Amino acid sequence: MTTIYVDADACPVKDEAAKVAARHGFEIHFVSNAFMRLPEGENVNRVVVPDGPDVADDWIAERITAADVAVTADIPLASRCLKAGAKVIGPTGKPFTDANIGTALAMRDLQQHLRETGESKGYNASFSKQDRSRFLQALENAVQDLKRGR
């Protein structure tokens, strides 16, 4: 049975993920290190992990399987989930794949270096309606792929 795991701390698409999970009858785990308001539902599980670096990531990575979907903007977590065979989608609808995760990790490291040296201020684009729409489409595509055994 497919389960959706959401790295929930800064996720802007919690409601959308819960709706897709409910529509398909999937269990969904919202994993964070703090209590937060979440969508309600029989299939919705709140997981609050202790504070600490990567504790939520570790909880997800230790449980996710090839039959599951992860929703995260955290590129190292995306990489760990891909290694487990899972489908991985960013909140803007960008799927992480074996083909693009290496580039994403390299860009993350480069951006971190540029911020540390003062070459970049770390601008992040605002989240848009188009991002939300792309996310819904990408999550539905991932779910359909899993249902078809891909």
Q: Which residues pair with 30 in a beta bridge?
A: 6, 46
Rounded Cα gap, residues 2 and 114, in angstroms: 39
pLDDT attached to residue 108: 61
Phi then psi for residue 68, to 5 deg, are -115, 170
Q: Which domains does the chain have, with CATH numbers?
A: 3-97+128-147 (3.40.50)
pLDDT attached to residue 122: 62
Who has greater pLDDT, 118 or 91?
91
Chain segment 129-150, per-residue pLDDT in tens: 999 999 999 999 999 999 998 7
What is the band of 103 on the pLDDT scale with cuts at 50, 70, 90? confident
Average pLDDT rounded to a whole number, residues 3-12: 94
The pTM of this model reads 0.87
Whether the Cβ atoms of residue 8 and residue 31 lie closer than 8 Å to each other: yes
The upper half-sphere exposure of residue 72, i.e. CA atoms within 13 Å in the direction of its Cβ, equals: 32
Average pLDDT rounded to a whole number, residues 54-79: 96
What is the band of 1 on the pLDDT scale with cuts at 50, 70, 90? confident
DSSP the chain: --EEEEE-TT-TTHHHHHHHHHHHT-EEEEEESS-------TTEEEEEPPSSTTHHHHHHHHH--TT-EEE-S-HHHHHHHHHTT-EEE-TTSPEE-TTTHHHHHHHHHHHHHHHHTTS-----PPP-HHHHHHHHHHHHHHHHHHHTT-
